[in-house]
Amino acid sequence: MTAGAAVGGGVPAVRFVARHWSPWTGAAAAVALILSVPMLVVAIGAAGAEGREVWAHLASTVMPEYLRNSVVLAVGSGGLALVIGVATAWLVATCDFPGRRLFEWALVLPLSVPAYIAAYTYAGMLDVTGPVQRAVRALVPSLAERFVAIPIMRIETMVVIFALVLYPYVYLLSRAVFLGQSRTVLEAAWTLGHGGASAFWRVALPLARPAIAAGVSMVVMEVLNDYGAVSYYGVSTFTTGIFRSWHALGDLDAAIRLAAILMVFVFAVLALERSQRGRRRVDDVGGTGHRPLLRQRLRGWRAWAAFAVCFTPLLFGFLIPVAQLAFWSLRTAGDVVDAGYLRLVANSFGLATVAALLCVVIALLLVYAGRLGGGRTVSAANRAVVLGYSIPGAVIAVGVIVPFGWIDRTVDAAVEATLGFSTGLLLSGTLFALVFAYAVRYTAVALLPIEAGFERQCRNLDAASRCLGEPPLMTLWRVALPLLRRTLLAAAILVFVDVMKEIPLTLSLRPFNFDTLATRAYQLAVDEQVAESANAALVIIAVGLLPVLGLDRLLTRGRG
Amino acid sequence: MDAPTTFRDGGPPRADAREAGAVAAGPGEVPPEMPGTVDEARATGAAMEPVSERPVAAGTGDGANVTGAGTGAGAGLAASRSHVAPDRSQTTRPDAPAAYPSPALEVRGLTKRYRRGDRPALDHVWLDVQDGEILTLVGESGSGKTTLLRLVAGLEQADAGEIVLRGRTVCDERTFIPPEHRGASLVFQDYALFPHLTVEGNVGFGLRRLGRAEREERVREMLELVGLRGLERRYPHELSGGQQQRVALARALAPRPAILLLDEPFSNLDRALKARLRQEVASLIRATRTTAVFVVHDPDDALAIGDRIAVLRDGRLVQLGKPREILDSPCGPYVAGFFGIGEPADELEP
């Protein structure tokens, strides 16, 4: 053993002046700060003194309508999604009926259909020239007159469509709780004489409340974030208001103010969810024993009722829209699929890949900085980045365009003054701005699974590597990356899917003449060419099926 | 092997130890059929085999060294010394400090609080570990022993105090040397073997800077040492618990660490295996003349392995001394109770 002699007195020490500071902490803090710029811009911009009259103008004109519509959509869709999600989750988790095993996973499928695609598909199906009305006219000519008069594109339809494609959030979270708790608590309730319904209301529902609240708040977040569907239906909400003030009226000040109100809205939802959660954790379910629950076998009309309850949301949330899109797509594929279409596909996949890689790298940096003992700085950085996901795209778009525009103008003026030529737009209206905005919104999507992966797979392994002389970066390379390969891939896929279907950020920040599948599908739908948009929409849905179907398996196989 | 094992480790170690302490005065008289006592005997300078040439003799100047370590901060030292057994100065040989120019590890007034306002996990702990010595840290869960280990390894940052490793300050108010520059190897409670690497890959992990041939040679040497030749290509999940632990040990020893830290290395093993392994591990560490700090929560383990034992309670050092000293004169009822030496002496000595 020569260590005693080798490591003598005069070895130069690696000294850090500030003890809790490391390059990783600094990098994490810097990245989080940069990603928070859009939020800060909106918050500061709204608090600015100038533009009192903007406020007054907004408050007296459009505000009441935006507020009313946003509240109706949020409460209506959230409530309906709650009913659908909890009912299906309860049936699938605690009862046995024909098709239960199929429903278990199929009930998640509607999540792969973006709300705006469902919205315009139904609009196309149900309008005067659509298949439904034509069928009605052909079968019962006398009804045709009255039927035409029923307006489809209204806020009530919107509420139903949102609920149909977003209820899986509630379904997934509450089913997990029902499955976990039923083993012990529900059987106890049953033996104490509380039958199905009674056990549900008195035991299962109160216990699942935090999970249900979390699911509903995710639905509400998605609704508040939506731009494509509401603008297609002509329902004025904060998001459409932001874009109208900005694009149509050129009033960025008003846009910032509206964005700030929307942000307050979102924070209120978050706070509400948190208060529901109380001291419990959403994932704090059961975990006692692995005795499989004896499901109640339903017979006769009860079984068919259960089947109907589960089949209806699946039918309207997934099967009908996808079937209709497939039909349209077959009819128009010949015209639609050309070189331009392939460029769209390339744009979409390229953009989503770049964004996914960037988000995964940033998330890895943040999570790893936390594991290196970044303390409060890094955990605050992580929280700021996670918050980005709950900020609606419209708000982020405004928060990105303002500082980037300012940088462009400043640089342009400086170069013009010194060198005598104009640099034009360097950042705004470039892919850089768009990818940055994606990173602001979607890094959280990558961060959460990576964090969980580190907890699950690397417990002491990175510490072991450090003790064996490997510095952090090498440890990441030699230990974390090989072990977390699948987790990182899963995280990247999640971001990828989100970016593929993204509308508000892409529409407002993309370079001139740059289109993705999502923006083109949306534009075609807006231009009354719904059938032509079907092909792109199907690609988006197919990509969206990836995480819905494969992610569970990817993550569970990833162990070991 | 069950019967002798249970006698040796599960049985009445106190009696053994006491006897050992008694016999140790006359070197070489420790009965070989009482292996549990060999270490104590060795620790007290009763040479049984060449390993004891390492310079740890009776009464490794515990008191004296604590004093030496605290020369800079008299006040803190005085406070900490009050925790230490009062009679240890009697067992300290006056010539002991001279034999050890500098300890392998010095811990001075180390304090760590995980959350502001909480009771500190570690509260002004002073101790030292001599070159080639094995120190065991014992205490109940939450006593701060693992915290101390992680602080020495550099996996946590201290709130106050200093850590000097081989004469180099690795931690004080202004210094924090990250773990990869400390040369302190840690054997984790769950072994933390890299699941994506073979046995070979695990043992060679810390030898990246060596050349390929050198690295392979060293890996072979280490696997020879822990008796795992032939398992080079296995993955950790294909090994038994005892084998995994030996891989962890080989991996930690391979880069010739300045100090070896072991965090409850036996807690995942069943009792019979544990009894065998702790002797094996201890003799391995002695064979490589590595300085080591063991965290254990079983007082029997502490007595069987340690040249000296540090007893922690609620983040404070309650007693630091050789096994015999602790058994002979436990510092207060807590330590006595912890080692189960509360009973009257005449019960043990008929």
pLDDT at B46 over 50: no
Mean pLDDT for B254-269 is 88
Percent of chain A clearing pLDDT 70 (strictly above): 86
Where do runs of H (alpha helix) occur along A372-480? 375-387, 393-419, 431-457, 461-467, 472-475
The band of A150, judged by pLDDT with boundaries at 50, 70 and 90, is: low
CB contact under 8 A, A13 and B168: yes
Percent of chain A clearing pLDDT 90 (strictly above): 35
B-interface mutation test, from A25, A368, A468, A477, most B Cβ less than 10 A away: A468
pLDDT at B249 over 60: yes
Residues A474, A420 share a domain: yes
Identify whether A415 is part of a domain: yes
Residues A201, A230 share a domain: yes
pLDDT digits (tens, 9 = 90+) for A387-397: 888 888 889 99
Residues A493, A436 share a domain: yes
Q: Are strands B184-187 and B259-263 parallel, antiparallel or unpaired?
A: parallel
pLDDT at B158 over 50: yes
For residue B298, CA distances in Å to A309, A393, B3, B11, B287 come to 59, 58, 20, 13, 24
Confidence (pLDDT) at A149: 58
Nearest to A1 among B155, B196, B288 (CB): B288
pLDDT digits (tens, 9 = 90+) for A17-33: 345 567 888 999 999 99
| Residue A284 CB coordination number (10 Å) | 13
Nearest to B180 among A11, A471, A482 (CB): A471
Chain A nearest C-alpha distance from B210 (Å): 12
Identify whether A12 is part of a domain: no
Residues A395, A508 share a domain: yes
Residues A313, A188 share a domain: yes
Chain B CB contacts of A22 under 8 Å are 178
pLDDT digits (tens, 9 = 90+) for A71-108: 999 999 999 999 999 999 989 988 899 999 889 889 98
Confidence (pLDDT) at A210: 83
CB contact under 8 A, A4 and B255: no
Chain B nearest C-alpha distance from A2 (Å): 7
Which residues have a Cβ under 8 Å from the Cβ of A479 and sit 6 or more positions away? A458, A461, A462, A464, A465, A470, B194
Nearest to A468 among B190, B205, B288 (CB): B205
pLDDT digits (tens, 9 = 90+) for A371-385: 887 778 888 898 889
Chain B CB contacts of A472 under 8 Å are 178
Mean predicted lDDT score pLDDT of chain A: 83
pLDDT at A362 over 50: yes
Chain B nearest C-alpha distance from A467 (Å): 5
Q: How far is it, in rounded angstroms, from Cα B92 to Cα B300?
A: 24
Of A9-18, A47-56, A548-557, which one has max mean pLDDT? Answer: A47-56
pLDDT at B266 over 90: no
CB contact under 8 A, B168 and A19: no
Q: How far is it, in rounded angstroms, from Cα A255 to Cα A246?
A: 6
pLDDT at A186 over 80: no
Which residues have a Cβ under 8 Å from the Cβ of B162 and sit 6 or more positions away? B106, B107, B108, B109, B110, B169, B171, B172
Residues A190, A226 share a domain: yes
Mean pLDDT for A537-553 is 80
Confidence (pLDDT) at B69: 36
Nearest to A469 among B169, B194, B206 (CB): B206
Identify whether A198 is part of a domain: yes
Confidence (pLDDT) at A477: 92
Restricting to A residues 366-385, those with a Cβ less than 8 Å away from any Cβ of B are: 373
Nearest to A466 among B169, B170, B178 (CB): B178
Is A460 near chain B, with CB under 8 Å?
yes
Identify whether A158 is part of a domain: yes
Confidence (pLDDT) at A153: 79
The band of A119, judged by pLDDT with boundaries at 50, 70 and 90, is: very high
Q: Are strands A296-297 and A95-96 parallel, antiparallel or unpaired?
A: parallel
Chain B CB contacts of A459 under 8 Å are 190, 192
Confidence (pLDDT) at A286: 45
The band of A288, judged by pLDDT with boundaries at 50, 70 and 90, is: very low
Nearest to A479 among B104, B184, B194 (CB): B194
Of A62-66, B173-177, B212-216, B277-281, which one has max mean pLDDT? Answer: B212-216
Residues A223, A206 share a domain: yes
CB contact under 8 A, B180 and A7: no
Chain A CB contacts of B178 under 8 Å are 14, 22, 466, 471-472
Confidence (pLDDT) at A552: 54
Confidence (pLDDT) at B65: 38
Chain B CB contacts of A479 under 8 Å are 194
Mean pLDDT for B20-44 is 38
Residues A152, A32 share a domain: no
The mean-pLDDT minimum among A24-33, A117-126, A474-483, B4-13 falls in: B4-13
CATH number at residue A74: 1.10.3720.10
For residue A510, CA distances in Å to A46, A409, B45 come to 25, 19, 79
Q: How many residues does chain A have?
A: 560
Confidence (pLDDT) at A145: 66
A-interface mutation test, from B116, B130, B173, B194, most A Cβ less than 10 A away: B194
Q: How far is it, in rounded angstroms, from Cα B152 to Cα B170?
A: 8
Restricting to A residues 1-30, those with a Cβ less than 8 Å away from any Cβ of B are: 1-4, 6-9, 11, 13-17, 19-20, 22
Mean pLDDT for A154-163 is 93
Residues A393, A303 share a domain: no
Mean pLDDT for B53-65 is 37
E strand or H helix at A223, and its extent? helix A205-225
Residue given tokens 């254990």 in the structure block:
B296
Residues A254, A376 share a domain: no
pLDDT at B311 over 60: yes
pLDDT digits (tens, 9 = 90+) for B74-102: 333 333 333 433 333 333 333 334 444 57
CB contact under 8 A, B174 and A15: yes
Backbone angles phi, psi at B294, to 5 degrees: -100, 135
Nearest CA in chain A to B254: A468
The band of A227, judged by pLDDT with boundaries at 50, 70 and 90, is: very high
Q: How far is it, in rounded angstroms, from Cα B32 to Cα A38?
A: 75
pLDDT at B110 over 90: yes
Identify whether A350 is part of a domain: yes
The band of A434, judged by pLDDT with boundaries at 50, 70 and 90, is: very high
Residues A231, A99 share a domain: yes
Is A150 near chain B, with CB under 8 Å?
no
Chain B nearest C-alpha distance from A488 (Å): 16
Residues A362, A303 share a domain: no
Is A193 near chain B, with CB under 8 Å?
no
A-interface mutation test, from B205, B237, B267, most A Cβ less than 10 A away: B205
Chain A CB contacts of B180 under 8 Å are 466-471
CB contact under 8 A, A471 and B178: yes
Identify whether A57 is part of a domain: no
Chain A CB contacts of B185 under 8 Å are 467-468
CB contact under 8 A, A3 and B170: no
Q: First vs last Cα of chain B: how many Å apart?
A: 29
Confidence (pLDDT) at B277: 82
Confidence (pLDDT) at A114: 93
Q: How far is it, in rounded angstroms, from Cα B74 to Cα A171?
A: 65
Q: How far is it, in rounded angstroms, from Cα A269 to Cα A266?
A: 5
Domains in chain B, please, with CATH? Answer: 2-183+257-342 (3.40.50.300)
Q: Structurally, how many domains does chain A consist of?
A: 2
pLDDT at B240 over 50: yes
Percent of chain B clearing pLDDT 70 (strictly above): 69
Confidence (pLDDT) at A350: 94
Mean pLDDT for B47-70 is 36
Mean pLDDT for B113-118 is 82
Identify whether A3 is part of a domain: no
Identify whether A399 is part of a domain: yes
Confidence (pLDDT) at A49: 53
Nearest to A463 among B155, B165, B257 (CB): B155
Chain A nearest C-alpha distance from B25 (Å): 29
Give me the domain span that covers residue A185.
Answer: 64-288+297-330
The mean-pLDDT minimum among A344-353, A355-364, B29-38 falls in: B29-38
Q: Structure tokens of A311?
A: 């089949």
For residue A297, CA distances in Å to A84, A124, A171, A421, B313 come to 21, 41, 21, 78, 57
